[in-house]
C-alpha cells in the first residue's frame, strides 16, 4: 500500500530532471551575468526527495477527489521549493507567460514608431524613431500632437492611452491619422496618415532640447546589446551640435544587460573609478570604468523615478556616488540583485537570483533604491517638471562656471 508505484516513480523522476537539467536546455541572460554554478547531479537518484515521493504516493492512494494532472503537480512542487527561499525575484513561470515574456524582451510592437513625451506645459510631443514610418511620413522631433483619427487629444489624457492610440495590429490598410504642429507654427498644422509597421524599439533616443538647444538629452530606455552603438551615435550627433550640458534620462528604465550598463557609465566617468561591486557565491568582484570615456566634463543631470531599476540604478548610483552628476526625481525601484532565466524542457522557466550588486558607496540597493539629490513630487497632470528642474539646474551650473 505504501510502496511507490511505477507511475509515481516516473512522475518524480520528471520533477527531478526538471530541476537538474532545466538550466542546460536554454538560458536567456538578464543583466549580462554569466552563469557559473554547477548543476546538481542526476546520479543522486529519486531518493534525493524521499518525502516528496512519499507524499505523492499517499495522495495517489488516498486523496478523495481527482488529482491535478502530472504537469500541474510538478509546477506546484517547483513553486513550493522556490517559495522557501523568500526571494520575490526567484520564481517559476508556466509556458504561456514565459512565451509572452520572451515577446516583450524582443522589443517589438506594431505602430508608427514614435516616442511620446509630455513637456512641462503638459503638451504631448512626438519624437519619431529614425527610419520609422512616422519619420518617413514627415513627423519631426518635437511636433505637438493635436488630433488622432480626427479626435482632439486633450491635455488630461493619460500618456499610456496616447501611446496605445499610435499602435495597432500590422495588417493591410491598418494605420492611424494624426494632426501635428511645430512649436514655431502656431497656425500651421500638418496631417499624416501613417500605416502601422513592426517597430524595433531602440534602447537609446536623443536630441537637443527645445527649451534649451545648447543642452543635449539622452534617454536610455533599457540596456541591450545595441545600447553602446546607439549611445555612440548619440554622442556623435550631440557633439556636432556643440552642446554645453547634458540630461541623462533613465526614468522607467527597467535595467537589462550588466556589461552594457557598465559601458554606459564608463562614458561619463574618469578612468579607473569603481562602477559597481558584485557579490556572488564566487566572492566579490569589482567593475571599473572602461576605456573610451566621452563626456566626462560636461555639466550633467540624471533623471530617475520609481520605475528606474536594476542596471539603470547601478549607472545612476555610480554617477551620484562619484559626484559626477546631480540626480533629480523620485527614489528608484530598489532592485540590486541579478536574475538568470532558465528554460525548462516544456518551455516553462525559472528566474533565479544569482548575484547582488552594490554602487561605489556600497549602500544596499535591494529593496531600498537610490535617493535623488533633488527629490521631486511628480506633477499630477503629467507635466515633465523633472526635466524642467534639470534644465534650470544646468543653466545655474553654467552661469556659475
Model pLDDT for residues 6-33, shown as the tens digit of each residue? 444 444 333 333 333 333 223 333 333 3
Residue 2, pLDDT score: 43
Residue range 339-361: mean pLDDT, rounded: 88
Read off the C-alpha cell for 69. 494532472
Residue 361, pLDDT score: 95
User: Rounded to whole angstroms, how far apart are CA atoms 271 and 289?
Assistant: 5
Q: In the predicted model, what is the mean pLDDT of the chain? A: 83
Residue 117, pLDDT score: 79
Give the position of cell 574618469.
270
The domains of the chain, with CATH numbers, are: 6-91 (no CATH), 108-197 (2.30.42.10)
Model pLDDT for residues 275-301, shown as the tens digit of each residue? 999 999 899 999 999 876 788 889 999
Phi, psi (deg, nearest 5) at residue 252: 60, 20
Residue 346, pLDDT score: 86
Q: What is the pTM of this model?
A: 0.67
User: Rounded to whole angstroms, how far apart are CA atoms 141 and 128?
Assistant: 6
Residue 187, pLDDT score: 79
Residue range 189-216: mean pLDDT, rounded: 92
User: Rounded to whole angstroms, how far apart are CA atoms 266 and 280?
Assistant: 23
- pLDDT greater at residue 49 or residue 277: 277
> Is pLDDT of 90 > 90?
no
β 215-220/245-249 pair status: parallel
Amino acid at each position: 500500500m505504501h510502496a511507490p508505484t511505477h507511475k509515481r516513480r516516473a512522475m518524480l523522476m520528471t520533477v527531478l530532471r526538471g530541476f537538474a537539467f532545466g538550466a542546460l536546455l536554454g538560458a536567456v541572460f538578464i543583466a549580462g551575468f554569466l552563469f557559473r554554478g554547477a548543476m546538481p547531479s542526476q546520479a543522486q537518484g529519486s531518493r534525493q526527495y524521499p518525502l516528496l515521493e512519499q507524499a505523492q504516493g499517499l495522495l495517489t492512494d488516498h486523496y478523495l477527489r481527482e488529482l491535478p494532472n502530472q504537469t500541474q503537480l510538478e509546477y506546484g512542487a517547483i513553486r513550493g521549493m522556490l517559495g522557501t527561499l523568500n526571494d520575490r525575484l526567484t520564481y517559476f513561470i508556466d509556458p504561456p507567460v514565459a512565451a509572452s515574456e520572451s515577446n516583450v524582451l524582443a522589443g517589438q510592437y506594431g505602430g508608427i514608431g514614435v516616442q511620446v513625451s509630455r513637456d512641462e506645459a503638459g503638451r504631448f510631443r512626438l519624437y519619431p524613431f529614425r527610419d520609422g514610418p512616422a519619420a518617413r511620413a514627415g513627423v519631426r522631433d518635437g511636433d505637438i500632437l493635436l488630433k488622432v483619427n480626427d479626435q482632439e487629444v486633450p491635455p488630461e489624457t493619460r500618456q499610456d492611452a496616447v501611446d496605445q492610440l499610435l499602435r495597432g495590429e500590422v495588417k493591410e490598410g491598418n494605420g492611424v491619422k494624426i494632426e501635428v504642429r511645430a512649436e514655431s507654427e502656431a497656425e500651421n498644422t500638418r496631417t499624416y496618415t501613417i500605416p502601422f509597421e513592426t517597430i524595433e524599439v531602440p534602447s537609446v533616443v536623443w536630441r537637443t532640447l527645445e527649451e534649451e538647444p545648447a543642452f543635449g538629452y539622452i534617454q536610455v530606455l533599457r540596456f541591450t546589446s545595441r545600447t553602446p552603438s546607439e549611445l555612440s551615435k548619440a554622442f556623435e550627433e550631440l557633439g556636432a551640435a556643440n552642446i554645453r550640458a547634458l540630461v541623462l534620462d533613465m526614468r522607467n528604465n527597467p535595467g537589462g544587460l550588466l556589461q552594457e550598463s557598465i559601458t554606459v557609465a564608463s562614458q561619463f566617468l574618469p578612468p579607473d573609478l569603481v562602477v559597481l561591486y558584485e557579490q556572488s557565491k564566487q566572492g566579490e568582484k569589482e567593475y571599473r570604468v572602461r576605456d573610451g570615456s566621452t563626456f566626462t566634463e560636461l555639466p550633467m543631470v540624471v533623471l530617475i523615478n520609481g520605475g528606474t531599476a536594476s542596471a539603470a540604478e547601478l549607472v545612476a548610483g555610480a554617477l551620484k556616488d562619484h559626484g559626477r552628476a546631480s540626480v533629480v526625481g523620485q527614489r528608484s525601484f530598489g532592485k540590486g540583485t541579478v536574475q538568470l532565466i532558465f528554460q525548462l524542457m516544456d518551455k516553462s522557466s525559472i528566474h533565479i537570483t544569482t548575484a547582488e550588486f552594490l554602487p561605489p558607496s556600497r549602500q544596499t540597493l535591494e529593496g531600498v533604491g537610490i535617493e535623488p539629490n533633488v527629490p521631486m513630487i511628480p506633477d499630477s497632470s503629467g507635466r515633465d517638471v523633472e526635466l524642467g528642474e534639470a534644465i534650470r539646474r544646468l543653466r545655474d551650473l553654467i552661469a556659475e562656471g
